[in-house]
């Protein structure tokens, strides 16, 4: 297991930093261009959610090797206000910030495995895994 | 030896702090931080001196030094505040030790005093300076990136057709600029069709897409049409994955195709110029259509 790396999200420019780091890690791990773009887009969405709704948080990356497969785990953690209704945010078109409302459901479709945990008042953790094909 | 000195310093920290504060305050007028409100200056000085003493007492305390550095950096104070402060502190402390009765300080050699004091203060200086330069480097590299990605130029191609090539990351600030330039350009150049080229945009996420959709909608409101060009295959796939609906305006893979489409929309077309064609009448006719 490679050492885990992470990027702190505090301002809008950190989103760029986070996804560039993610793209580099994905490139090194052997992902193709399309998957690199998917990973970078997913990170962009997650980092933006942190920036917009929680103010600050972290995006961490971990290379996973399981049963001969290689994957990248991306975890977005914040200690923001949390999400009151998890099924609602996974609906396409639901937004509280006037955006497109495609963020979280989009990230789910961009990744192979997706896990969303949130506790109101405590924070939110989103974890997604992408496998190298 | 070192321990004995440390004892003296720690026991008499109040006196040293007092002297240091006096000197620092009188120095304030000379330095370029005199616009800082006195109250803030006072509290920061107290914190500074506390950090120094804590470091001396515990043989270096990187966490508290880091916190303090971060605070001063955030306040935007110059590095000289820190280096001067430590310099004054060094002077005050050495003075104090040297002025102690000889039997108490138990040290014959002045250089030994200096050495001990250096050993206490140097690591603090080093860490503070490192923190400072680290933050500068970060700022510089961020600004470099920001500069490269800042512009959103509008380019008139032919009558009624303009293009806006976008290169780099689109953030909220830049999205506003794009919208403004786009609308200004449409009005100023009297455009019927605007080509937005996103070949150079590394990632199209929901926010970028949202801004493009809004810009296209605004362009439609002023009576022009937006064509989104330069959609790379991987971007097309991520847009589909995200479930973004871009069906409201025409999109094309390359600028060339977009341009042909724009000509069609303005009732024109590209006519190949055939050199072998001697028929001048034909030629003139085709130019007329242009």
Residue of A nearest to B205 (CA): A41
Q: Which fold has domain B2-147?
A: Globin-like (1.10.490)
Q: What value does the mean pLDDT of chain B take? A: 83
Interchain contact B146–A (C-beta under 8 A) = yes
Percentage of the residues of chain B whose pLDDT score is greater than 90: 24
DSSP H stretches of helix in chain B: 2-11, 13-28, 38-57, 62-75, 79-98, 102-105, 110-148, 172-188, 206-221, 233-242, 255-265, 280-289
Taking a C-beta distance cutoff of 8 angstroms, is the pair A71, A131 a contact? yes
CB contact under 8 A, B205 and A100: no
For B38-49, write each residue's pLDDT tens digit.
788 888 888 888
Interchain contact A13–B (C-beta under 8 A) = yes
What pLDDT is recorded for position A14?
92
Q: Is B251 helix (H, G, I), strand (E, B) or coil?
A: strand
Hey, what domains does chain A have and what are their CATH numbers? 5-131 (3.30.565.10)
Residue B62, both tokens: 């990187």
Could you tell me which residue, B21 or B146, shows the higher pLDDT? B21
What pLDDT is recorded for position B240?
92
Percentage of the residues of chain B whose pLDDT score is greater than 70: 87
Domain ranges in chain B with CATH number 3.30.750.24: 155-289
Taking a C-beta distance cutoff of 8 angstroms, is the pair B170, B201 a contact? yes
What pLDDT is recorded for position B260?
93
What pLDDT is recorded for position B2?
64
- What is the rounded CA–CA span in Å between residue B152 and residue B229? 15
What was the ipTM of the complex prediction?
Answer: 0.86
Q: How far is A26 from chain B (nearest CA, A)?
A: 15
- φ/ψ of residue A91, rounded to 5: -80, 140
Task: Show Cβ contacts of residue B205 under 8 Å, excluding neighbours closer than 6 positions.
Answer: A41, A44, A45, A48, B238, B242
Interchain contact A90–B (C-beta under 8 A) = no
Domain ranges in chain B with CATH number 1.10.490.10: 2-147
Burial class from Cβ neighbours inside 10 Å (0-12, 13-18, 19+) for residue A41 reads buried
For B98-156, write each residue's pLDDT tens digit.
777 766 655 557 777 788 888 888 888 888 888 888 888 888 888 877 765 566 788 89
The secondary structure of residue A32, as a DSSP letter, is: -
What pLDDT is recorded for position A1?
45
Class of B155-289 in CATH:
alpha beta
For B181-222, write each residue's pLDDT tens digit.
899 999 999 999 999 999 989 889 999 999 999 999 999 999
In terms of Cα–Cα distance, which of A38, A111, A119, A12 is closest to A127? A111
What are A63's strand-pairing partners? A72
């Amino acid at each position: 297991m490679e050492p885990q790396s992470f990027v702190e999200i505090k301002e809008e420019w950190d989103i760029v930093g986070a996804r560039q780091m993610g793209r580099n890690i994905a490139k090194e791990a052997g992902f193709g261009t399309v998957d690199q773009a998917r990973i970078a887009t997913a990170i962009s969405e997650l980092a933006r959610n942190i920036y917009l709704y929680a103010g600050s948080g972290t995006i961490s990356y971990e290379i996973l090797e399981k049963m001969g497969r290689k994957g990248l785990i991306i975890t977005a953690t914040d200690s923001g206000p949390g999400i009151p209704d998890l099924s609602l945010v996974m609906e396409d078109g639901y937004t509280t910030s006037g955006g497109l409302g495609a963020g979280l459901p989009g990230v789910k479709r961009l990744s192979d495995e997706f896990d969303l945990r949130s506790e109101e008042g405590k924070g939110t953790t989103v974890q997604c895994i992408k496998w190298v094909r | 030896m070192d321990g004995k000195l440390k004892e003296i310093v720690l026991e008499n920290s109040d006196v040293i702090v007092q002297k240091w504060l006096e000197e620092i305050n009188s120095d304030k007028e000379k330095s370029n931080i005199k616009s800082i409100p006195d109250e803030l200056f006072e509290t920061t000085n107290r914190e500074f001196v506390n950090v120094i003493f804590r470091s001396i007492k515990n043989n270096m305390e990187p966490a508290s030094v880091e916190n303090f550095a971060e605070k001063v950096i955030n306040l935007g104070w110059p590095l000289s505040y820190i280096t001067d402060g430590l310099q004054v502190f060094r002077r005050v402390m050495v003075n104090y030790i040297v002025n102690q009765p000889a039997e108490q300080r138990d040290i014959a050699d002045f250089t030994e005093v200096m050495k001990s004091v250096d050993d206490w203060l140097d690591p603090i200086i080093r860490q503070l300076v490192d923190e400072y330069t680290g933050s500068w480097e970060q700022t510089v590299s961020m600004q470099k990136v920001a500069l490269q990605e800042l512009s959103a130029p509008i380019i008139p191609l032919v009558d009624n057709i303009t293009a806006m090539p976008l290169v780099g990351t689109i953030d909220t600030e830049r999205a506003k600029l794009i919208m403004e330039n786009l609308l200004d350009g449409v009005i100023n150049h009297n455009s019927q069709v605007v080509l937005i080229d996103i070949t150079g945009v590394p990632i199209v996420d929901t926010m970028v897409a949202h801004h493009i959709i809004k810009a296209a909608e605004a362009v439609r409101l002023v009576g022009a049409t937006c064509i989104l060009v330069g959609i790379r295959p991987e971007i097309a796939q991520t847009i589909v994955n995200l479930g973004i609906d871009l069906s409201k305006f025409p999109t094309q893979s390359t600028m060339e195709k977009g341009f042909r489409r724009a000509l069609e929309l303005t009732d024109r077309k590209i006519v190949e110029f055939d050199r072998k064609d001697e028929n001048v009448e034909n030629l003139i006719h085709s130019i007329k259509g242009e």
